[in-house]
Homo-oligomer: A and B are copies of this chain.
């Protein structure tokens, strides 16, 4: 099963649904790709250069194996969608591939 965000400022990933990890992950991404004013992208009038870089690290898609109609998740695996630009409507494509 493909889960793919339709926005280039969003990220999709699989991890544990534990609030501490989520907060650690957001802080981590902010350190690596901080919100700041001087991205070149901002010459277009946008202010979301950091969101594009966060997307580049996280990517916009995951593939989840499915067996007999159930997601083959290991312990604690959960799908997350983050919109790093903070203002967009979330949109996602989900495709089931295979038999």
Contact = CB atoms under 8 A, between A and B. Distances in A.
Interface of A: 2, 4-8, 13-16, 18-21, 23-25, 28, 32-33, 39-44, 49, 52-53, 55-65, 67, 72-77, 91, 93, 95, 97-98
Contacts of A75: 6-8
A60 B80 CA distance: 14
A95 B63 CA distance: 11
13 contacts: A2-B63, A4-B64, A4-B72, A6-B73, A6-B77, A14-B60, A15-B56, A18-B44, A20-B44, A25-B53, A59-B62, A67-B93, A97-B98
A21 B63 contact: no
Contacts of A2: 63, 65
Nearest to A60: B14
The 9 closest A-B pairs by CB, nearest first: A6-B74, A20-B40, A20-B41, A65-B93, A21-B41, A24-B39, A23-B40, A97-B98, A72-B93
